[in-house]
Amino acid sequence: MPKLFDKRADIGKYMSNLNILSMLLVYIAIAMSIIISHIFIGYSIKNYENNLTRKKKFWLNVFSECKNSGTYLLKKGLIKKLKDATMLEAFSDAYNEAREDNSDIKRILYDNRAQIAELGSKLRSNTMRAFFAYMLTGFDLRKPIDHQHFDDIMLRYLSYGSVYVRENALLALLSFGNEKKIAEAFISLSENNIYHSEKLLGDDLLKFTGDQAKLAEELMDVFSKLNNCFKVAVINFLRYTGNHNYDIDFRNMLDSSDISIDIMCCIIRLLAKFYSLQNGEAILKVLENNYNSENWEPAAVAASSLVPYDFDNVVQALIGALNSKTWYVRANSAKSLAAMRISDAYIFKVICGNDRYAMEKLTYELSKMEVDAV
């Protein structure tokens, strides 16, 4: 019996050592694969950089020959080379480098615009399309009439399924500075029910290289045809640029029964940027009609926008909104009342009311104002 137990113990010890050895071999294999993959990635990156540098030199030589000869019309075979992703990137890098000391380099795009636009229309990869649009954005093409071909191809790109292609196509159109094409782009996207981020659209519109006032005019002419995300972007664009030429139109929209909550909130923020009795009355009306509504968001925005209008009827409306069933409306109303530094009579009216929260929130905001003042 003792010999049998000793034999089993030896087998157990052998299996334990075998497991440790197997784990060590696995770890070694993983470490080797990581090292090999890093070497391969490093080699691929180096090879790509060398390839890009070589092709960039090729295009710089082409541009130099064009400058010396005085003609910028490229052979069709050269344009076809741009179907290659690395060649297209090299062309972009070489162009941007060459234009630093060659003011005529834009003739490359103008004299070959039909061929380059045709190339862009034949690209099948969304990655290539997105880069093609990105490339045009960086080329500083601010003569809409001269670059009609590029306008048209970018408008066509807006119908593709990739958000990256659409975003870069919009940025390219904005860089061209043609306000009519931006309005056309927004209509096209709306008609095809294509959603685009309001935040992206609002930021993109600020990058427009043409006349912002003319762009606003074109966009307002087609405003009724746009989907909500584009309407929000247009309103925010007007707010960011301080354009209040259309406030009367937006005040009228606030009275519409089919206006969305998002649009209402954007309009209130726009109107709040410009002090006028008409704007104040429109914002006040939103608060009075919605402070106890299920759709409370416009009332909350309105409550925080009424501070400059410290009239009795406004103060009374804000005190009434302290009784709203929505916390945000109550909180914003209390903050606005405190910022207005309302009289003791109004404070006493709230304290003596039946709404304990209204009393506590207002007194808290007033005490906070005092602390901040110190």
- Given a contact cutoff of 8 angstroms between Cβ atoms, the answer to whether 98 and 136 are in contact is no
Distance CA 231, CA 208 (A): 17
Please tell me the predicted confidence (pLDDT) of residue 45.
73
Regarding whether 359 and 318 lie in a shared domain, the answer is: yes
Regarding whether 229 and 131 lie in a shared domain, the answer is: yes
Out of 93, 108, 123, pick the residue that ends a domain: 108
Regarding whether 120 and 60 lie in a shared domain, the answer is: no
Q: Is residue 269 part of a domain?
A: no
* 228-271 confidence digits (pLDDT tens): 999 999 999 999 999 999 999 999 999 988 899 999 999 999 99
Q: Is residue 239 part of a domain?
A: yes
Please tell me the predicted confidence (pLDDT) of residue 285.
96
Domain that holds residue 238: 112-243
Out of 243, 260, 293, pick the residue that ends a domain: 243
| Amino acid occupying residue 118 | E
Please tell me the predicted confidence (pLDDT) of residue 206.
96
Out of 54, 73, 108, pick the residue that ends a domain: 108
Regarding whether 138 and 61 lie in a shared domain, the answer is: no
Regarding whether 316 and 352 lie in a shared domain, the answer is: yes
Mean pLDDT over all residues of the chain? 87
Regarding whether 88 and 131 lie in a shared domain, the answer is: no
Regarding whether 324 and 239 lie in a shared domain, the answer is: no
Q: What share of the chain is helix, strand, coil (3-state, %, to 5)?
A: 75, 0, 25
Q: Is residue 14 part of a domain?
A: no
* 166-188 confidence digits (pLDDT tens): 999 999 999 999 999 999 999 99
Regarding whether 370 and 285 lie in a shared domain, the answer is: yes
Distance CA 106, CA 96 (A): 10
Average pLDDT over residues 144-150: 66
Residue 315's domain is classified under what CATH number? 1.25.10.10
Q: Is residue 354 part of a domain?
A: yes
H-only helix segments in the chain: 2-69, 76-80, 85-98, 107-111, 113-122, 126-137, 148-157, 163-176, 179-191, 198-205, 212-221, 228-241, 247-253, 261-272, 277-290, 297-303, 312-321, 327-340, 344-351, 356-373
Please tell me the predicted confidence (pLDDT) of residue 354.
73
Regarding whether 142 and 69 lie in a shared domain, the answer is: no
Q: Is residue 167 part of a domain?
A: yes
Q: Is residue 311 part of a domain?
A: yes
Residue 4 has pLDDT above 60, yes or no: no
Place 15 in a pLDDT band, splitting at 50, 70 and 90.
low
Please tell me the predicted confidence (pLDDT) of residue 299.
96
Q: Is residue 194 part of a domain?
A: yes
Regarding whether 181 and 295 lie in a shared domain, the answer is: no
Average pLDDT over residues 98-121: 87
Regarding whether 199 and 213 lie in a shared domain, the answer is: yes
Average pLDDT over residues 81-86: 91
Place 374 in a pLDDT band, splitting at 50, 70 and 90.
very low
Regarding whether 116 and 235 lie in a shared domain, the answer is: yes
Give the highest mean pLDDT range of 34-43, 61-70, 101-110.
61-70
Smallest CA-to-CA distance from 289 within 249, 331, 247, 259 is with 259
* 293-342 confidence digits (pLDDT tens): 999 999 999 999 999 998 999 999 999 999 899 999 999 999 999 898 88
Domain count, the chain: 3
Please tell me the predicted confidence (pLDDT) of residue 7.
54
> Counting every residue, how long is the chain?
374
Q: Is residue 267 part of a domain?
A: no
